Amino acid sequence: MKIVDLHDPTRVNRIPNESVILFSTEDFVQDSFIVSKVELRLYVEKIDPKLGAYSLITSFVETDKGSIEMIYDEGFRGEKPLSRTAQFLTSNLGISGLILRSIISLREKIK
């Protein structure tokens, strides 16, 4: 089961401009979900001549019970928004919070 938890799922109905895998394993268990992959995806939605690219950054978490893609951040984020976001998450223990938030949402959608 693949869940896209966005108000307008068509925003991610294409291949992302960039992606980065933050976590990939087969033996990480969180609340009875086996988490196999955590990925950030960047979708450039428009480019403003003054402000630059409007970025939609989503998190994608894949588990044994399904996957979920959710908005992580969006806006005019300047240069290299995906790598800066990934660095922030990995240096501030944000991956565990991202996984937990995704598991909670996935569990609610499965019910």
Q: What is the pLDDT of residues 2-43, one digit of tens each?
A: 888 888 888 999 999 999 999 898 889 988 999 999 999 999
Q: Which residues, in sequence order, are CB contacts of 86 under 8 Å at separation 6+?
A: 20, 22, 40
- In the predicted model, is pLDDT for residue 57 greater than 90? yes
- In the predicted model, is pLDDT for residue 59 greater than 80? yes
33 SS3 class:
strand
Angle among Cα 91, 2, 16 to the nearest 5 degrees reads 55
Residue 26 is predicted with a pLDDT of: 82
- In the predicted model, is pLDDT for residue 84 greater than 80? yes
The string of DSSP codes covering 72-102 is EEEEE--SSHHHHHHHHHHHTTHHHHHHHHH
Q: Exposed e or buried b for every residue in 44-60, given b needs 16+ CB within 10 A? A: eeeeeeeeebebbbbbb
Confidence of residue 95 (pLDDT cuts 50, 70, 90): confident
Residue 90 is predicted with a pLDDT of: 87
pTM, to two decimals:
0.90
